[in-house]
Amino acid sequence: MINTDHEGSIVSVAVFGEFTLADYHEFEELVRYKLKFEGPVSLFFDLRQMASFTLDVAWEEIRFSRQHAHDFRRIAVLTGSQWVSWTAWLSQLFVEADVRVFEEEAEARAWLAEIQ
């Protein structure tokens, strides 16, 4: 399950439990809307409560990232998991955005706000 929100040019996503393809499509829809009407966005992913994700989500993330490689300014990933940190680093291969992993939410949000 996910919770999405947006303020200015920042799209926020919090994942709870399993991250499914339906959840990812909800995220994609919001991002496409913001890109169409407002241009490039920054992303904030709170993955501290994510238990797992499905393989089709991983594939869709690669596809979506490649399709929108130039549409993201910054991507902040909030997690305490070394595995999620590694996958966030790997995603930098597909986008031109600056991707950083944080353990503290305030620090991640401050970093995103620097370019607002």
Instruction: Determine the pLDDT at residue 89.
Output: 63
Say what the pTM is: 0.89
72-95 pLDDT, tens digit per residue, is 999 999 988 776 665 766 666 678
Query: In angstroms, what CA-CA distances link 75 with 28, 38, 88?
Result: 15, 17, 9
7-51 pLDDT, tens digit per residue, is 999 999 999 999 999 999 999 999 999 999 999 999 999 999 988
Q: For the residues 44-66, what does the mean pLDDT come to? A: 88
- In 3D, which of 5, 3, 9, 1 has the Cα closest to residue 75? 9
Instruction: Give the architecture (CATH level 2) of 2-113.
Output: 3-Layer(aba) Sandwich (3.40)
